Amino acid sequence: MSRDPGGRSGGFKTRVKTAKGRKIGSTRWLERQLNDPYVKRAKAEGYRSRAAYKLLELDERFGFLKGVERVVDLGVAPGGWTQVVRQKVPRATVVGIDLLPTDPIDGATLLQMDFMADEAPDRLREALDGPADLILSDMAANTVGHPQTDHLRTMGLVEAALLFATEVLKPGGAFVAKVLAGGADANLVAELKRRFGTVKHAKPPASRKGSSEWYVVAQGFKGSA
């Protein structure tokens, strides 16, 4: 049986009836989930979310997981990215943080707190116990339905993640973060290029075509300024 995530299973599509009290948008989301090949594959392969394949596909292209010893996962819940890191690099120290609760993952330290809280960076450094090789950020602000506001809020998180990365990464380290349509803005790209040897934008196949998300992959950290 083909495991191609883009393949169809017998050509059948699951349709969801609009239950009483359920909004049409919720019904469409549920129908999309039930028919998403990546969701089905994640369940079959034991990943907590389809997002695991985004990281796997990005790493296949850029190779940032190779040889890492310490990794920080910002916006860890529900834990798919940390699962991938633990699977690919079992000996690595992995520290994750999220406002939402995350079920325990063997070998990972998970903090339930706001990354933007004043005490969060110190808590992460304490758990990391040394300089990081890789900072991952799949954080996105809760949307309010106003595109410009949503973009600014999410990019604010990316900028905070980058600032943290420049404080804890070892030379040669990497930073991978979710951004929105169009990628990182000019000022952020300029800062990334100043701090890293290479900066690329990518949209992995596992990212839905209709989604506005892209990822920025910055490698070869030049060290603290």
Q: What integer pLDDT is reported at residue 143 of this predicted model?
A: 66
- Residue bearing the bigger pLDDT, 123 or 214: 123
**131-142 average pLDDT score:** 92
Would you say 98 is a known binding-site residue?
yes
Q: What integer pLDDT is reported at residue 154 of this predicted model?
A: 79
- For 4, the token pair is 């191609």
Q: Which domains does the chain have, with CATH numbers?
A: 15-45 (no CATH), 51-221 (3.40.50.150)
Nearest to 172 by CA among 57, 63, 61, 60: 63
Q: Which range has highest mean pLDDT (14-23, 141-150, 214-223)?
A: 214-223
Total number of residues shown for the chain: 225
For residue 7, pLDDT beyond 60: no
Q: What integer pLDDT is reported at residue 171 of this predicted model?
A: 97
Contact between residue 27 and residue 19 where contact means Cβ atoms under 8 Å apart = yes
**Per-residue pLDDT reduced to its tens digit, 70-94:** 999 999 999 999 999 999 999 999 9
Would you say 63 is a known binding-site residue?
no
Structure confidence at residue 11 as a pLDDT band (50, 70, 90): very low
For residue 224, pLDDT beyond 80: no
Contact between residue 202 and residue 179 where contact means Cβ atoms under 8 Å apart = no
Q: What integer pLDDT is reported at residue 185 of this predicted model?
A: 81
**Per-residue pLDDT reduced to its tens digit, 35-76:** 568 778 878 877 889 899 999 999 999 999 999 999 999 999
Structure confidence at residue 3 as a pLDDT band (50, 70, 90): very low
Average pLDDT, the chain: 84
DSSP 130: S
Q: What integer pLDDT is reported at residue 100 of this predicted model?
A: 95
Please name the residues in contact with 147: beta carbons below 8 A apart, sequence gap of 6 or more.
Answer: none
Rounded Cα gap, residues 215 and 176, in angstroms:
7
| 178 annotated active-site | yes
pTM of the predicted structure, to 2 decimals: 0.82
**Per-residue pLDDT reduced to its tens digit, 151-177:** 778 788 999 999 999 999 999 999 999
Task: Give me the phi and psi of 155, to 5 degrees please.
Answer: -65, -30
Would you say 21 is a known binding-site residue?
no
Q: What integer pLDDT is reported at residue 133 of this predicted model?
A: 98
Q: What integer pLDDT is reported at residue 108 of this predicted model?
A: 98
In which order are the strands placed within the sheet that holds 214-221?
A: 108-112, 93-98, 70-74, 132-137, 169-179, 214-221, 196-202
Task: Give me the phi and psi of 29, to 5 degrees please.
Answer: -65, -45
Structure confidence at residue 4 as a pLDDT band (50, 70, 90): very low
Residue-wise DSSP of 59-125: HHHH-TTTT--EEEEET-TT-HHHHHHHHH-TTSEEEEEESS-----TTEEEEES-TTSTTHHHHHH
Q: What integer pLDDT is reported at residue 183 of this predicted model?
A: 63
Instruction: Out of 13, 54, 178, 203, pick the active-site residue.
Output: 178
Q: Please report where in the chains the tokens 């996105």 appear, as a residue.
A: 140
Would you say 81 is a known binding-site residue?
yes
